[in-house]
């Protein structure tokens, strides 16, 4: 497909309001159209974001204060990829705890499609769960906010697969509800990485999930930012920077 540019002479004689509308449409067109049509900024290989040591680890910051961590462990067997996810967040004022969050999630993937998801979450005392499995192109099961309608194509909010930014329908890995989003590509940026910085591509999700997320060209998830009583950001770290599993909190949820 070829996009023809309008003559600069013709544009010069148009009203200013028309020019403004034209430029807005032009910017939105290229922000959304280019990544989806041959100018792919990140890999489409669903496993490309999984590192050689099979671990992704992040520290979570709120306004540059460390408040917790996010850990993902990958394992492969019989053509399937298992992902074990654990998140812990704590916000306090001095010695006074204000907020606590714990999330456990196990996902099974095959050929780029989620096969099952089992999660438990303690969101500051509010308990949530999801227990879903793929059957005949739909995810069936239970969840604290599951209401059906989770047919393919769809992905969970686990982020490691770079094709996440090519979705408009998502499964909340916390409670099993449907999330509908729009995605815009914002361009490349230098962002902090484990050893210095790296060029990554920034995408903005709006709708039922509002976050900015960055992937390297080879598909590794390297940053997330969103607002929740401040700016929360995920930053990659070595797995050794995460507390040992023996110290992790457990979530007990009655389904």
CB 111 within 8 A of CB 98: no
Range of the domain at 21: 7-39
Average pLDDT for residues 130-137, to the nearest whole number? 97
Residues 16 and 136 in one domain: no
Output the domain CATH number for residue 178.
2.50.20
- Quote the CA–CA distance of 46 and 164 in Å, as a whole number: 9
Residues 171 and 231 in one domain: yes
49 domain residue, yes or no: no
How far does Cα 51 stand from its chain's mean position?
A: 17
Q: Residue 94: what pLDDT? A: 87
Q: Is the pLDDT of residue 20 over 50?
A: no
254 domain residue, yes or no: no
- Quote the CA–CA distance of 27 and 123 in Å, as a whole number: 38
**How many angstroms separate the Cα of 51 from the Cα of each of 39, 54, 192, 220, 236?**
24, 5, 17, 8, 12
Average pLDDT of the chain to the nearest whole number: 87
85 domain residue, yes or no: yes
Name the domain count of the chain: 2
Residues 141 and 177 in one domain: yes
- Written as six digits, the tokens of 82 are 């298992």
20 domain residue, yes or no: yes
Residues 132 and 12 in one domain: no
Query: Per residue in 137-169, pLDDT tens?
Result: 999 999 999 999 999 999 999 999 999 999 999
45 domain residue, yes or no: no
Q: Residue 44: what pLDDT? A: 96
Average pLDDT for residues 14-28, to the nearest whole number? 40
| Residue 37: band (very low, low, confident or very high) from pLDDT cuts 50, 70, 90 | very low
Residues 91 and 15 in one domain: no
Average pLDDT for residues 26-33, to the nearest whole number? 40
CB 107 within 8 A of CB 114: yes
- Quote the CA–CA distance of 60 and 66 in Å, as a whole number: 6
Query: Per residue in 197-252, pLDDT tens?
Result: 999 999 999 999 999 999 999 999 999 999 988 899 999 999 999 999 999 999 98
Residues 81 and 171 in one domain: yes
Residues 90 and 22 in one domain: no
Residues 20 and 120 in one domain: no
Query: Per residue in 184-209, pLDDT tens?
Result: 999 999 999 999 999 999 999 999 99
CB 175 within 8 A of CB 185: no
The sign of the dihedral angle between the CA atoms of 176, 178, 181, 187 is positive
- Written as six digits, the tokens of 212 are 């900015």
State the DSSP H helix or E strand holding residue 28, giving kind and residue range, or none if neither.
helix 16-36
32 domain residue, yes or no: yes
- Quote the CA–CA distance of 213 and 236 in Å, as a whole number: 13
Residues 84 and 186 in one domain: yes
Residues 131 and 71 in one domain: yes
């Amino acid at each position: 497909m070829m996009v023809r540019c309008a003559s600069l002479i013709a544009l010069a004689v148009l009203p200013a309001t028309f020019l403004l509308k034209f430029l807005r449409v032009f910017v939105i067109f290229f922000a959304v159209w280019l990544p989806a049509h041959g100018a792919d900024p990140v890999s489409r290989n669903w496993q490309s974001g999984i590192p050689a040591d099979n671990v992704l680890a992040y520290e979570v910051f709120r306004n540059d204060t460390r408040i917790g961590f996010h850990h993902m462990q990958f394992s492969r067997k019989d053509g399937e990829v298992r992902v074990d996810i654990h998140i812990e967040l704590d916000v306090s004022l001095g010695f006074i705890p204000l907020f606590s969050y714990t999330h456990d999630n196990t996902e099974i993937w095959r050929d780029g499609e989620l096969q099952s998801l089992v999660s438990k979450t303690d969101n500051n005392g509010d308990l949530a769960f999801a227990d879903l499995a793929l059957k005949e192109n739909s995810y069936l099961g239970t969840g604290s906010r599951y209401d059906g309608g989770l047919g393919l194509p769809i992905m969970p909010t686990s982020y490691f697969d770079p094709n996440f930014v090519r979705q408009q329908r998502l499964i909340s890995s916390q409670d099993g509800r449907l999330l509908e989003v729009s995605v815009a590509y914002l361009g490349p940026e230098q962002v902090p990485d484990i050893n210095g910085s790296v060029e990554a591509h920034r995408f903005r999700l709006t709708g039922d999930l509002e976050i900015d997320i960055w992937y390297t060209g080879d598909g590794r998830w390297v940053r997330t930012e969103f607002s929740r009583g401040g700016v929360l950001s995920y930053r990659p770290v070595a797995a050794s920077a995460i507390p040992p599993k023996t110290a992790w909190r457990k979530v007990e949820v009655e389904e």
